[in-house]
Amino acid sequence: MIKVCLIGAGKMGISHLSILGAHPDVQVVGVCDTSKIVLDVLKKYSAFPCYTDYQEMLEDAEPDAVFVSVPTKYHAGIVKQILEKGKHVFAEKPLCLTADEGEKIVELASRRGVINQVGYHNKFIGTFREAKRILDSGELGEIFHFSGESYGPVVVKRKQDNWRADPAEGGGCLMDYASHVIDLINYILGPITKVKGSILKSFYSNKVEDSVFSLLELSSKVTGVLSVNWSDETYRKMSTSLTITGSKGKIICDANELKVHLKTSSNAGYTKGWNVKYVTDLTPPVDFYLRGEEYSAQVDYFIKAIQHKVPNNINTFKSAWYTDKVISFIKESVN
């Protein structure tokens, strides 16, 4: 059994906690949150040991691994303390408020030799994984252009009162929403090395941007567009998609559906013209389902990495740190 603690039982934390609670190889040895109500409900109705002080929890519960799902501004400090104790860490995204903060914990995690993973769950969605496989195989030929998009209904009115509305705490569409798309582009297409210009616009929020539009360049010199808006109420939930155009074909991919258009039939089972595959064909089943296979799959992958069953090579601190770095490029590219 892997002994796991969780710090921060908010929206993502409570979901991780449920998935961990159902995992056959995991024993949840401690949960810590600052909200009295959340903690009180957990105390009363779950069997998880509850703490108000995470340092006390880390001493007392002696976990093998810790999930950190607190507001981003606390990531660097808390993760550092956990790493210094030699524990494996799963942190929510984005990794840190700045690339400088992140660099230190990437280095520390590597020095301590612990398993480290960040919650960019799109990489555990079958359609995106297949898009990467096709791209890596070179079947699209020379890449001409790409666009990475994400839309959703997070802030659809002029009223907000939490950490997501505060830039100092890691709020805003860029860190909270666009980070997912940036991370996915880095993973599927290759690292973004230059941002040629950006528009960060607020529609409803006072202190943070509600949308991000950027022109990106990859290390391969391929260029593309980032378009993200979390104030779009025509979407029921967050919807992320990638469109990639090449000399031999084109991919349109979201979390549900992968559409591939090829000029000639390929060896990998795709024929000339349009091919459509669904997440149902591409996503392996999970043992416990909550909100999407990818949430369970990423937790399971982290646990398996601790058990030495899989390599620690998806969503490492290092890859998430690079996403933080691109976020800083975008901030710098405004105006």
Partner 1 sequence: MERILFGDNQFFAVNHISDEKSREQSIKFKDDEAIIKTLDHAIDAGINTFMCTTHDRIANICDYIRKYPEHYSAFKIYPCMPYAHKYANAVTELGIVGTLREYVPGNFFGSIFKGGIAYLSKDYLSIMELMIDAEMKMFTNIDTPIIFLQNVITDLLLGLGMKDIFKAFNNYIEKKYNAEAGYITMNMPKLQYVLEQAGIKNPIICTSINKAGFRMSGGKELYESVLKTKQIRTIAMQVLAGGAISPKEAIEYVCNLPNIESILFGASSMNHIKETVSLIQKYDIQNQHKLGYNNFIINTV
What's at 241, amino acid-wise? Answer: S
Contact with partner 1 (CB under 8 A): which of 161, 267, 269, 335? 161
Instruction: Say whether residue 287 binds partner 1 (CB under 8 A).
Output: yes
Closer to partner 1 at the Cβ: 36 or 308? 36
Q: Using the rule CB under 8 A, which residue among 241, 266, 298, 316 binds partner 1?
A: 241
| Position among 25, 107, 217, 257 found at the interface with partner 1 (CB under 8 A) | 257
C-alpha distance across the termini of the chain, in Å: 52
Handedness of CA 38, 44, 46, 50 (dihedral sign): positive
Nearer to partner 1, 280 or 335 (CB): 280
Residues 41-80 as x/- pattern, contact with partner 1 by CB under 8 A:
xx-xxxxx--------------------------------
- By CB under 8 A, the residues from 120 to 159 that bind partner 1 are 153-155
The two beta strands, 249-254 and 257-262, are antiparallel
> Applying CB under 8 A, what is the total number of residues that bind partner 1?
48
d(CA 103, CA 174): 19
- Name the residue nearer to partner 1 (CB basis): 40 or 59: 40
Q: Which is nearer to partner 1, 156 or 334 (CB)?
A: 156
Dihedral angle over CA of 319, 321, 323, 327, nearest 10: -170
DSSP 144-164: EEEEEEEE-BS--SS---SGG
Residues in the chain: 335
| Cα–Cα distance, 71 to 51 (Å, whole number) | 18
**Coil vs helix vs strand at 322:** helix
Among 40, 53, 100, 332, binds partner 1 (CB under 8 A): 40
Select the residue interacting with partner 1 from 52, 81, 137, 162 (CB under 8 A): 162
Nearer to partner 1, 105 or 252 (CB): 252
Nearer to partner 1 by Cβ, of 6 and 82: the residue is: 6
Binding mask 165-204 for partner 1 (x = CB under 8 A): ----------------------------------------
Say how far apart CA 180 and CA 212 lie, in whole Å: 12
Sole binder of partner 1 in the list 111, 136, 234, 267 (CB under 8 A): 234
Please identify which residue in 210, 254, 294, 324 interacts with partner 1, judged by CB under 8 A: 254
Give the DSSP letter string of 23-76: -TTEEEEEEE-S-HHHHHHHHHHS-S-EES-HHHHHHHH--SEEEE-S-GGGHH
* One-letter identity of residue 20: L
From the CB of 167, what's the least distance to partner 1, in Å?
Answer: 16
CA 20 to chain centre: 18
Q: Which is nearer to partner 1, 22 or 334 (CB)?
A: 22
Residue 79: in which H helix or E strand, if any?
A: helix 75-84
d(CA 214, CA 216): 6
Q: How far is the CB of 2 from partner 1 (least distance, A)?
A: 16
Q: Is 228 in the site for partner 1 (CB under 8 A)?
A: no
List interacting residues with partner 1 (CB under 8 A).
10-11, 14-15, 17-22, 35-38, 40-42, 44-48, 153-155, 160-162, 164, 234, 236-237, 239, 241, 254, 256-257, 278-281, 285-291
